[in-house]
Structure 1
Amino acid sequence: MGTMRMPPVVFLGPSAPASDILSILPNAIIRPPARRGDLYASRILRHEFFLILDGAFGNVLSISPREVVDVVQDGAVVVGASSMGALRAADCFPAGVHGAGIIFRLFKARVISAEDEVAVLYREDRPFPALTEPLINMRIALRRATREGLLGASEAEEIISAAQSLHFTLRTWPSAYQKAGRHLAGEMLDFLNGIDTKRSDAVLAAGKVLKLLEVGRGSFRPSRSPQLFGLSSDGRERSPVALSGADRQQIEAEFIEWLCCSGRAHSRLDNEINWVNGELTVPTSSVWNILSGSGELEADLMRFDIFRRAVSEARRCGLRPGIEDLRQAERQLAKAHGVGSWNELLICKGSSSSYAKRLGIHRTELALTKCLRRTFLFVKGRSTKPREVLLWHPK
């Protein structure tokens, strides 16, 4: 008898009903949304094909880019789409992770970057359909509505801005329209509810896995080790490879400054950071050791790389952030730093201090990324477009 292939493992939650996936991959093993370590555990059991659609976050550790890269480098095939899967596929595609669908392409092109874009509230015992609407579904549905002439671009932007200000557990079409001060007609609600990009991307990704299964593993990169990663000696402790070849010395100071200004550094670095004449003065070796011990260094490196590429792209395109872009950036930074408002954040950091000045620069850069995302989701007919963007045309 020939060697039997283990069935593909699909991490699925509110993005699509299990029946959609099983109609394409009837032998698939359906697992709940992926948590930290789930991919490792399945790989140790010698599964070779993985489809990540949904992932847990918040009160549990989410699946990390390092885990995904380790499994791919061990010789497995990983496809990501729809929700957390799209985010991790965009993070890790240079390592050989496959992505599928509109949401993956938008993350990969850096038009969107926040996990909040795909976050929803759902029941664990009955995950589909979700109890709230993912922000990215709302963006795409409203853009399609503008193309159909059902509403204007300015109205769509108002509704998206209102939805973005809501916590994801409260984000529904009625609540977004109410927050924006707009009337939601029944016909429009039916139209918007009929567009479920996360679900259609999940189906597309399942089809991609089926094709990869049919092709076999001959065209894929072999494992770095004859053993499973869980038994090998060089698995999870490799250095980060998130910055396209840049070494640590090249990006160290800028990366730590971004961590501080974005609020991702939290209180654990407060005693290590000094600002002199607007410049960051920090014993980088000790800070790097602290970050390396956090378990999230590689994910932060990837977020930093995406951020600075988006800023560079916005500047290349000659974009200027609007008032609402700046306000959104201020709200995001205030929340990240654990204060109630932008003014309160400046007061906490000393409004005339070097740190506060750098925060102001970071606010403008963050607003640029929001301007880039807004521009290329809602403005038609632009001759300038971000590099590497894969054009998508919802029908």
Structure 2
Amino acid sequence: MTQIPHTVIFAGPSVHGLDPSAFPGLVWRGPAACGDLLQAVQQGARAIGLIDGLYGDCAAVWHKEILFALSQGVAVYGAASMGALRAAECDLFGMQGVGRIYEAYRDGLRVSDADVALSHAPADLDYRPLTLALVDAEATLAALAPDLAPARLARLLSAARALHFSRRTWRAVALAAGEGADVAQVLAERAVSPKQADALALLTLLQNECSAAPQPGWRFQNTLFFRSLAVRVAGQR
């Protein structure tokens, strides 16, 4: 069995363009799917940072995996994308959320998973984002608000919110708002990404300090479904 004594990071499009070598000691994995966090615990991880996750054509990370990790004393952190969602759902059990996106879900300011969703390239293309997450689109337009007439800003925001995450690009947003390619180029050039900012905050936190999860005040229930998942994951090693 491969031993992973350090912190395991599950990330993809949210960290595209960042240099993993800037965070020595972290063990990098791609976006997490169902069973990946459990496997990391089985392999000896002592802390897990969940940033990006897979969904749609595969089962997403189970909450039960997070609870199991916490019950084993493994610290679990989440930010930016799937990590922010799961942290908002599991922070009462001891998962630690990081960043403004997590806080927005925690506080009920955001409720839709789709706000952080996007399409991305596969692993051999470094999970490059192919579309635009709504949280990044809204943040970019907010930053540009002083330079835009209110009606124009409203049209762009409405267009960004109406587009499905699999079709949302700056070009598609501009076109839907009645703007041209020049506006799309300006939006792309001046884009800001709270997803990447939150991911970077999590990486920096785990690089500088990481402690075991405190003993939870609840008891992990090892259900039939979870035992079946554990057997399947163990067989993949």
The alignment's TM-score, normalised by the length of structure 1, stands at: 0.51
The 1:73/1:170 distance shift into structure 2, 3 A limit, reads: same
- Secondary structure at the counterpart of residue 49 of structure 2: strand
Q: Deviations over 1:212-235 (max 9, x none)?
A: 32xx43xx413689xxxxxxx954
Taking the TM superposition and a 5 Å limit, the aligned residue runs for 1:272-351 are none
Q: Does the 8 A contact of 2:71 with 2:220 survive in 1?
A: no
1:189 aligns with 2:188: yes
Q: Distance in 1 between matches of 2:217 and 2:178?
A: 56
Q: Does the 8 A contact of 2:4 with 2:43 survive in 1?
A: no
Structure 2 residue aligned with 1:53: 51
Q: 1:173: how far off?
A: 0.8
Q: Does the 8 A contact of 1:36 with 1:62 survive in 2?
A: yes
The 1:153/1:86 distance shift into structure 2, 3 A limit, reads: farther
1:42 aligns with 2:40: yes
Tell me, which stretches of 5 or more residues in structure 1 are unaligned? Answer: 226-232, 239-291, 293-395
Q: Does the 8 A contact of 1:15 with 1:202 survive in 2?
A: yes
Q: Distance in 2 between matches of 1:18 and 1:39?
A: 24
Structure 1 residue aligned with 2:90: 92
Q: Does the 8 A contact of 1:12 with 1:18 survive in 2?
A: no
Taking the TM superposition and a 5 Å limit, the aligned residue runs for 1:69-218 are 69-124=67-122, 125-146=124-145, 149-183=146-180, 184-185=182-183, 186-192=185-191, 195-213=192-210, 216-217=211-212
- Secondary structure at the counterpart of residue 167 of structure 1: coil
Q: 1:7: how far off?
A: 1.3
- Secondary structure at the counterpart of residue 41 of structure 1: helix
- Secondary structure at the counterpart of residue 10 of structure 1: strand
Q: 1:50: how far off?
A: 0.4
Q: Which stretches of structure 1, 4 residues or more, deviate above 6 A after TM superposition?
A: none
Q: 1:66 aligns with which of 43, 64, 74?
A: 64
Bigger drift between 92-101 and 182-191 goes to 182-191
Same amino acid, percent of matched pairs: 25
Tell me, which stretches of 5 or more residues in structure 2 are unaligned? Answer: 226-237
Q: Distance in 2 between matches of 1:155 and 1:208?
A: 39
2:6 counterpart letter in structure 1: P
The 1:131/1:234 distance shift into structure 2, 3 A limit, reads: closer
Q: Deviations over 1:288-319 (max 9, x none)?
A: xxxx9xxxxxxxxxxxxxxxxxxxxxxxxxxx
RMSD: 2.6
Question: Is the radius of gyration larger for structure 1 or structure 2?
Answer: 1
Question: May I ask how many residue pairs the two structures share in their alignment?
Answer: 220
- Secondary structure at the counterpart of residue 15 of structure 1: helix
